[in-house]
Structures are given as C-alpha cells and as structure tokens.
Structure 1
Amino acid sequence: MLRNSLQLAVLSLCIGTFADRASAESGINLIVEGVRNEHRNILVLVFDNAAGFETLNYETVVDIAEIKAQSGSVRYTFGQLNEGPYAIFLFHDENGDDDLNTKGGRLLEGIGATGAPNRNDEPDFMGASVMPGNVTVRLHYDQ
C-alpha cells in the first residue's frame, strides 16, 4: 500500500513537472480580438523592458510579427518567448504603410496593448506585463 502511494506521488510530481514545462515552452499564444476588417495586417511589438515599451521604441523589441487581418479575431504564437514578463503593443495597419495613422488627434487605425482593456488605457510596463501562456488583446478604433 505504501509503495502504491509512493508511486502515485512520483507519478503526480512527474505529470505536474511536465505540465509546467509544456506551458513554459509554449511561449505567448496571442489572441487579437475586435478586428474590424480584413484590410492588410496587424503589427505586433513585444517588449521585455519598460523603456522600450513606454516609448514604443521598435528598436528595442524582443519580437515582432505581422499577422494577416481577419474580421473578428486572429491568433499568433510567439513560441520562443518563454521567460517574461513581456508587454505587447499592436495596431491594425489597414493601409499597409507600417505607421499608425491619425487625423486631428483621432486614430484612423485600431490599437491595442496588454493591460489596456479600454481605448484610453495607457498602462506602464508593469501594468501591461504578461507571462507566457494565452494572452488576449482587444483592438480599439476611434471611428
């Protein structure tokens, strides 16, 4: 009886270790919600430092992606990002000029960030920080 209990304890420990390792090795599984159309791409910037994120300095990103836009939601996996914390900023580049377009202070394209469930949220790196796993970011449009 003691032997069976010991075997179960070892098996449970092994399964828990494997599950932890599997989730840590999965990277960031990003889900972008609220995409309004299929025009062009969603540009995603992933930062691992406050200075880069808070100034949106693309030269300091740890990873970047360009995802084909689809109405509703899109998914992308950053499989190599397994440490964290990370902060993500993204925008829907509807005209394909690789720039976030505005007019009169209003956004012409959608934006989103981790830690920003509402359009006017502007989280700092700590407020936007996420660890590897499933991460959902909502796009916000002014028009």
Structure 2
Amino acid sequence: MIRKSIAGILSLMLVFTIFPGFTSAENNLIVGNNVILANNGSAMYKVFVHSDADSMEQHAAEELVDYLTQVTGAPFQLTVDTAPPNDPVVLVGRNALTESLVPELTGNTLGDDGFIIRKINQNIIIAGSHSRGTMYGVSLKPARLSNCQRSLFWRTEECG
C-alpha cells in the first residue's frame, strides 16, 4: 500500500517542463507547463529507439524504460522499429527522423558528446551528437529536468 502511494506521488512528480504555457485540453497528456509521463500507474508515453540504433543507443533506451518503470510503477514499453508508433513517445537516439525534427543533430553543432532534449508536438526527443551523447541525455533522469527550458543543449565544454 505504501509502495503504491509512493509510486503515485512519484508519478505525479515525474514531469518534463518543456514548453511554457503549452496546453492541450484535448488529451490531458500535456497540462500547463508539464508533460505527464505516467499517471496513476499507467504509462502515458512509450519509449522508441530505431531498429538501426547501435548497442549504446539501444542500451540507453532500455535504461530509460527501466528507470521510468521503477520510479512510477507504470509499465513503460520499449518499441524497437523503423518508425515510431502513433502514440506519444520518447524518441531515443539519432536517426533520420530525429535529425529531420531537430536540425542541431546534423553536423557537429552539439560537439562530440553533446545532446538535446526537446519536445516536438506530442513527442520528446533525447538524442546526442553521437551515441555517447544520447546516453548522457538519458542519464539526466526526467525527475531532474523539472527546470529545463524549451530545449536543453549541453556541449562537452559546458559539462566539463
């Protein structure tokens, strides 16, 4: 009983603050400044990694699923495919889709180990300039992102 209460409280606390003032009364996934990842033991998002992702990006996606499931008590699903499902997803890793949505991923804009966390439409992208950057982005756990701005860019020299 206590564990369920704690999981419920944590699921309410587990939010990304991505777009200030963005709301959607239509589906209640996005409330005010927050994106609700889990609610009352139900995962509201899936985690997606492209089937061509290397082992480090796949591991990063698995780590994120494990972490979200452990913290919220909600069973998060990992989808490994060539295209994400139509459901709201956390897109993990750099691929043609994430590069088309986030131009900063092309070239060397983010530096060697830089990463970006950005919300686009109903999806959240966590991707690095390289696989190691993606792992760093996933390692910045969602519970610690409550103060992040519209986008979060970290370059290696800033992480020093």
Shorter-normalised TM range:
under 0.3
TM-score for the superposition, normalised by structure 2: 0.26
If each structure's strand is expressed as a fraction of its own residues, which one has the higher value? 1
Structure with more of its chain in helix, by fraction: 2
Larger radius of gyration: 1
| Structure with larger RCO (C-alpha < 8 A, sep 6+) | 1
